[in-house]
Structure 1
Amino acid sequence: MKVFSCAGTAIGLAAAVLVSGTGYAEDGQSFDTKAALGEALFFDVNLSKNRTQACATCHNPDFGFVDPRPTDAGLAVSLGDDGVSLGDRNAPTASYAKFSPEFHRMEDGNYRGGQFLDGREPDIKGQAGGPPLNPVEMGMPDKASVVDRLKENAAYVKAIDALFGEGTLDDNETGYEAMKASLAAFEETDLFAPFDSKYDRYLRGEAKFSDQEELGRLLFFSQQFTNCNQCHQLKTSQVSREETFSNYEYHNIGIPVNAAARAVNGQEEGFVDPGLVNNPLVSDPEHLGKFKVPTLRNVAVTGPYMHNGVFKDLRTTVVFYNKYNSKASGAQTNPETGEPWGGPEVDGNLSLKELEHGPALDTKRIDALVAFLKTLTDKRYEHLLEE
């Protein structure tokens, strides 16, 4: 069963300070830490088959670590290194990804954590090894081919020998693991999780919320008026300074098929994304159509939304949730299309307990929630709110 995640064809305008114009790190450079080596690898297009795509292509640091490139499916899915293949899932942000716990089954039988939208890799290191070998992403045929690309660069060879042991690249498995570990070390740096949004500054007493933002904050954390924090709160305190706004569990919230993406990405007719059941550790059909709850950090600048990018606007996503509690005609209409919401791609195991919690929201409260969500934008991306 083939399921796509993130893919791309050209490194963006991200500050690839360690990479030359050809995509290689300069031979004269040295990397004293795994994170420094991982930074160079993150921007290196030579780790893709046609030397056109790097990790930063689909997780561009200038755009909240998502893919800003339009395709025939808009921004919903990404284009592969071959210049033809389109994915079926939206590339999730890599920001704050390190906080997702390792994938595991909880006592109640549900699952939590992991990387990718279905948790199929237990941690960041595992995730880093996926895209280079995915045929619709970076397209490398095997680990040996990736290691050969690493060995093309003397700076990489020197660094890997120093950081992982002499001759690490002589074995394809240990060489590939070294690449994964270096990328993971880079993704664990504060660049990916600065905790410096307006919300964070508000908690530190360095910023004030507008009345609308404060109403949104109160609604978000309310146990009575919304269902937001049932899934989008990790810490027990409402003023935790390292809140990532996800409990990293899995839910089916009734997202419709992204027909526009399916029309151009070549996915077979009748295909249903199994969600969590795509994870090799999960087979029970009661988990069909469930996807990992994403972080809301930088959510206002990392659209489109939902696992398949079906909604373009952040406000649309809030209105979508509201449809479960409001019988008003407006709540039953997708504001982006003017048509009724499409039916769930996977029906029958919706998280209705969470979705139907709380009363319907009026326009004022919907707008307040959107205003609060915008305060979760890292400082370096706040200019994107204006754009």
Structure 2
Amino acid sequence: MNWQLILMTGLLSAGVLTGCGGGSSGSSESATPTFTTKAALGESLFSDVNLSLNRTQACSTCHNPDAGFVDNRTGSDGLVRATSLGDDSASLGDRNAPSAAYANQTPEFSNGTRTRFNSQQSDYSGYLGGQFHDGRASTLQDQAAGPLVNSIEMGMPDKASVVDRLLENADYVASFKLLYGDTVFDDTDTAYNALTESIAAFEDTDTFAPFDSKYDRYIAGDTSIYDPLDKATLGKALFFSQQFTNCATCHQLKSQGSAKETFSGYEYHNIGVPVNADVRADNGSADDYVDTGLQTNNTAVTADSERGKYKVPSLRNVAVTGPYMHNGVFRDLDTVIRFYDHFLTGSTNSLNPETGVAWADPEVSDTISTTELQDGSTLTDDDVDALVCFLRTLTDARYESLLPDDGLCD
């Protein structure tokens, strides 16, 4: 289903093309507000390219609703880019755009503890939650405020410039006043906060977290989902095993069998991810630049013990939202599983299957979560396939058509 086409059709039928990339001249207020809820207003704002400097990029550009809410734009090589291209059609970031799907399930950034399930490890104590890979935005609204005025993303010079773009659109003006009061545009910060609150309200809807994958249907009672002879069934057993894998240690939030499992405990870890050399070559980073993860942009974190740590992502839709890791360094889910396995004594996965050579060194080597990474048993090729097949069952129903048609899980 083409989400963007549906949205555009709805806007055209309502006579409000200006709300989604059209742009109206002047700031006359429409007689009747078009958007009567904050979520509906946020839905339009989320897809409005007029909120970027060159009017080419919206939130939905890097979080495409048709592609698991990730950036699925391709580069000159025909492959999905590891990092996103900015509104200026030249700037490239250093990190892979995380999926906005299920982001509304992420707790606010904090320092605390959490209970682990199906793990031989003790409960976790440390930083938790927040938005972005490093938790620097505590909430959805905080996150929505950043890309608009980021020079290598949507590129607007300041909040006032963003508000000016809102004022170009009569439907926005009327709707903002209905939802936030007649004086909402009297102060730039008030108007900008209303904008980000609306986007957050949209991101907090079931559109972003439907919980309707095969796994969810199984939890709801459809026992036919996991046939005893299917690879996915073996993969599920391995995933939740305390003895054979360490997957659940970081990727299980609730007790097994609970509804609305997000497959992330929102912990922070350094798992030894190497530099994405291609990204660094493309974005012009200095030769000595080191992305220290949690410590780089999150002003609440200064301890060197947090260097190189990133938030554990949800595995929802993971099979259709590559490339993987915070910098997009791995393209295949199979590679990611083999990367984890190579930390185990006796692993046969000593080579990166995408390069054919040994795994590159970690970008930050002194804070690696070796206790978690070295827990479990080595995997066979069949085990890897089984885990891939299980992870594919975590795909939302509307994205199942995006799954590889490779016969692996037949």
Bin the TM-score by the shorter chain: over 0.9
CA distance in 1, matches of 2:17, 2:145: 23
* Cα deviation, residue 386, structure 1: 3.6
Structure 1 residue 104 and structure 2 residue 110: aligned? yes
Who is 1:282 aligned against? Answer: 301
Cross-structure match for 2:314 = 295
Q: Does 1:378 align with 2:377?
A: no
State which structure, 1 or 2, has the greater radius of gyration over its C-alpha atoms.
2
Given that 2:23 and 2:50 are in contact with CA atoms closer than 8 Å, whether structure 1 keeps it comes out as no
Aligned partner of 2:17 in structure 1 is: 20
Q: 1:216 aligns with which of 230, 235, 238?
A: 235
1:47 CA drift (Å): 0.4
Partners of 1:115 and 1:16 in 2: CA distance: 26
Do the aligned residues in 2 keep the contact of 1:334 with 1:340 (CA within 8 Å)? yes
Amino acid in structure 1 at the alignment position of 2:21 = G
1:126 counterpart = 2:142: yes
Q: Which residue of structure 1 lines up, in the alignment, with residue 350 of structure 2?
A: 332
- Verify the 8 A CA contact 2:319 2:392 in the aligned structure 1: yes
In the superposition, the TM-score normalised over structure 1's length comes to: 0.93
Q: Percent identity?
A: 57
Shift of 1:371: 0.5
Whole-Å Cα distance in 2 between the matches of residues 306 and 339 of structure 1? 19
Structure 1: gaps spanning 5 or more residues: 1-11
- Residue 205 of structure 1, CA deviation: 2.4
1:317 matched residue in structure 2: 336
Q: Residues 161-188 of structure 1: CA distance to partner in whole angstroms, max 9, x if unpaired?
A: 1111111012100000000000000000
Q: Which runs of 5+ in 2 are unaligned?
A: 25-29, 114-123, 406-410
Contact 1:333 1:341 in 2 (8 A): yes
What SS class does the counterpart of residue 98 from structure 1 fall into? helix
Whether contact under 8 Å (2:344, 2:376) holds in the other structure is yes
Count of equivalent residues: 374
TM-score by length of 2: 0.88
Asked whether the 8 Å contact 1:88–1:261 carries over to 2, the reply is yes
Q: CA deviation at 1:109?
A: 5.8
Secondary structure, aligned partner of 1:364 = helix
Give me the CA root mean square deviation: 1.7
Q: Distance in 2 between matches of 1:204 and 1:326?
A: 38
Give 2:91's match in structure 1, choosing from 79, 82, 85: 85
- Pick which of 105-114 and 365-374 moved more: 105-114
Give 1:327 deviation, angstroms: 2.9
Deviations 1:250-288 (A, max 9, x none): 000000000011111111111110100020000001101
- 8 A Cα contact 1:25 1:155, kept in partner: no
Tell me the amino acid that sits aligned with residue 310 of structure 1.
V
Distance 2:402 2:242 in 1: 31
SS in 2 for 1:178: helix
Change (3 A) 1:351 1:15: farther
Question: Aligned ranges for residues 139-150 of structure 1 at < 5 Å?
Answer: 139-150=155-166
- Distance across 2 between alignment mates of 1:154 and 1:20: 11
Name the residue aligned to 1:45. 49
Q: CA deviation at 1:25?
A: 7.2
AA aligned opposite 1:23: G
Alignment correspondent of 1:369 = 387
Aligned 8 A contact 2:33 2:175 in 1: no
Residue 234 of structure 1 aligns to a residue whose secondary structure is coil
Equivalent-residue separation in structure 2 for 1:234 and 1:262 (angstroms): 34
Work out the CA distance in 2 between the residues paired with 1:83 and 1:102: 33
**1:360 CA displacement:** 0.6
